[in-house]
Amino acid sequence: MPFLLTRKMMKSLLIIFFIIIITSADANPEPLAPALYVMGDSLVDSGNNNFLPTVAKANFPPYGINFDGRRSTGRFTNGRTVADFIAEFVGLPYAPPYLSIRRLVESEQAITGLNFASGSCGILPQTGADLGKCLSFPEQVELFEKTVKEDLPRYYKKSEEISDYLAKSLFVISIGSNDYINNYLNDLHDTSKRYSPQSFATLLITNLSQQLQRLYGLGARKVLAFEIGPIGCIPSITRQIQHNGPCVEDINQLVVLFNNQLAAMLQNLTSTLQHSSFILGHVNGLGYDAAISPSKYGLSDSSNPCCVTWLNGTSGCIPGLGALACKQPDKHYFFDAFHLTESLYKHIATLCFNSSSTCIPQNIKDLLL
**C-alpha–C-alpha distance, residues 235 and 227, integer Å:** 19
Our answer to whether residue 347 is catalytic in this structure is no
SS3 for 340?
strand
Our answer to whether residue 336 is catalytic in this structure is yes
Query: Which of 42, 46, 100, 236 is an active site residue?
Result: 42
Query: Which of 45, 84, 179, 336 is an active site residue?
Result: 336
Structural contact between residues 171 and 140, judged by C-beta atoms closer than 8 angstroms = no
Find the helix or strand (DSSP H, E) in which 100 lies.
helix 98-101
SS3 for 118?
coil
Burial level of 278, CB count in 10 A (0-12/13-18/19+)?
buried
Query: Which of 282, 332, 339, 347 is an active site residue?
Result: 339
**C-alpha–C-alpha distance, residues 206 and 248, integer Å:** 26
Our answer to whether residue 42 is catalytic in this structure is yes
Structural contact between residues 60 and 130, judged by C-beta atoms closer than 8 angstroms = no
Say whether the peptide bond before residue 361 is cis (omega within 30 degrees of 0). Answer: yes
Burial level of 244, CB count in 10 A (0-12/13-18/19+)?
exposed
Active-site residue list:
42, 336, 339
